Structure 1
Amino acid sequence: MARFLTIAVCQTGPIQRSASRAETVGRLVHLLEKAAAAGAEIVVFPEMALTTFFPRWRIDDTAEIESFFERSMPGPVTQSLYDAAARLKVGFALGYSELVQEDGRTRRFNTMDLVGPDGGFIGRYRKMHVPGSSEPEAGTTTHLERRYFEPGNLGFPVFDYCGVRVGMAICNDRRWPETYRMLCLNGAEVVLLGYNTPLLLDEAPALAHLRMFHNHLPMQAGAYQNTLWVAAAAKAGLEDGQALIGGSCIIAPTGEIAAQALSLDDEVIVHRADLDLITTCRKVNFDFALYRRPDQYRLIAEQV
Structure 2
Amino acid sequence: MARVINTASAQMGPISRSETRRDTVRRLIEMMREAKARGAELVVFPELAFTTFFPRWLIEDEAELDSFYETEMPGPETAPLFEEAKKLGIGFNVGYAELVHEQGKKRRYNTAILVDPGGEIVGKYRKVHLPGHDAPQPGRTHQHLEKRYFEPGNLGFGVWRAYGGVMGMCICNDRRWPETYRVMGLQGVEMVMLGYNTPYDHTQHPDIDSLTQFHNHLSMQAGAYQNATWVVGTAKCGVEEGSNMVGQSVIVSPSGEIVAMASTIGDEVITARCDLDIGKRYRETIFDFARHREPDAYRLIVERKGAVPPPM
Could you tell me which residue of structure 2 aligns to residue 226 of structure 1?
A: 227
Alpha carbons 2:200, 2:210 under 8 Å: kept: no
Aligned counterparts of 2:194 and 2:298: Cα–Cα separation in 1? 29
Could you tell me which residue of structure 2 aligns to residue 302 of structure 1?
A: 308
Structure-2 change in CA distance of 1:303 and 1:116 (3 Å): closer
Taking the TM superposition and a 5 Å limit, the aligned residue runs for 1:128-207 are: 128-139=128-139, 142-201=143-202, 203-207=204-208
Aligned counterparts of 1:294 and 1:99: Cα–Cα separation in 2? 42
TM-score (norm 2): 0.94
> Per-residue deviation at 1:206?
2.6
Taking the TM superposition and a 5 Å limit, the aligned residue runs for 1:1-304 are: 1-139=1-139, 142-201=143-202, 203-294=204-295, 300=302, 302=308
Alpha carbons 1:139, 1:202 under 8 Å: kept: no
Aligned counterparts of 1:139 and 1:47: Cα–Cα separation in 2? 26
Structure-2 change in CA distance of 1:201 and 1:125 (3 Å): closer
Once the two structures are overlaid, the 10-residue window that deviates more, 102-111 or 138-147, is 138-147
> Per-residue deviation at 1:139?
4.8
> Per-residue deviation at 1:182?
0.5
Amino acid at match of 1:7: T
Percent identity, please.
54
> Per-residue deviation at 1:202?
6.2
Amino acid at match of 1:53: F
Amino acid at match of 2:86: A
Q: Which runs of 5+ in 1 are unaligned?
A: none
* Deviation per residue, 1:151-207 (Å, 9 max, x gap): 000001111113211000000000000000011112210000000000234621133
* Deviation per residue, 1:56-84 (Å, 9 max, x gap): 01111111110000000000010000001
TM-score (norm 1): 0.96
SS at match of 2:251: strand
Q: Which runs of 5+ in 2 are unaligned?
A: none
Aligned counterparts of 1:31 and 1:19: Cα–Cα separation in 2? 17
Aligned counterparts of 1:294 and 1:42: Cα–Cα separation in 2? 38
Alpha carbons 1:168, 1:193 under 8 Å: kept: yes
Structure-2 change in CA distance of 1:133 and 1:297 (3 Å): farther
Alpha carbons 2:172, 2:194 under 8 Å: kept: yes
Aligned counterparts of 1:84 and 1:297: Cα–Cα separation in 2? 51
Structure-2 change in CA distance of 1:293 and 1:64 (3 Å): farther
Structure-2 change in CA distance of 1:201 and 1:156 (3 Å): closer
Alpha carbons 2:5, 2:163 under 8 Å: kept: no
